[in-house]
Amino acid sequence: MIELFYAPTPNGRKISIMLEEIKFDYKITEIDLKKNEQFNSNFRKISPLSKIPAITDHKNKTSLFQSGAILIYLAELSEKFYEIKNRNLINQWLMAQMGDVGPLLGQHHQFHHYNPGKSEFAEERYFKIAKRIYKDLDEHLSSSDFLAGKNYSIADIAMFPWIARHNWHDVGLKNYKSLSRWYETISKREAVIKGYDCLEKGEKIPKI
Ligand X SMILES: N[C@@H](CCC(=O)N[C@@H](CS)C(=O)NCC(=O)O)C(=O)O
Q: Which residues bind ligand X (CB under 6 A)?
A: 9, 11, 33, 38, 50-53, 66-67, 98
Residue closer to ligand X by CB (options 55, 171) is 55
> In whole angstroms, what is the distance from residue 65 CA to residue 193 CA?
24
Q: Which is nearer to ligand X, 43 or 152 (CB)?
A: 43
CB of 177 to ligand X, least distance (A): 28
Give the integer Cα–Cα distance in Å for 193 and 119.
Answer: 35
Strand 62-65: give its sheet, edge to edge. Answer: 26-30, 2-6, 54-57, 62-65
- Comparing CB distances to ligand X, the nearer of 135 and 165 is 165
Residue 122 CB, nearest distance to ligand X (Å)? Answer: 18
In the complex, least distance from residue 51 CB atom to ligand X, rounded to whole angstroms: 3
List CB contacts of 115: < 8 A, sequence separation 6 or more: none
What angle, 0 to 180 degrees and rounded to 10, lies between the N-to-C axes of helices 154-163 and 87-96?
20
Give me Rg for the CA atoms of the chain: 17
Strands (E), the chain: 2-6, 26-30, 54-57, 62-65
- Decide whether 155 or 176 has the Cβ nearer to ligand X: 155
> What span, in angstroms and rounded, lies between the C-alpha atoms of 94 and 59?
26
Nearer to ligand X, 52 or 137 (CB): 52
Minimum CB separation of residue 181 from ligand X in Å reads 26
Angle (CA) 22 51 15, round 5°: 10
Q: How far is the CB of 175 from ligand X (least distance, A)?
A: 27
Q: Which lies closer to ligand X via its Cβ, residue 110 or residue 144? A: 110
- For residue 126, the minimal CB distance to ligand X (Å) is 16
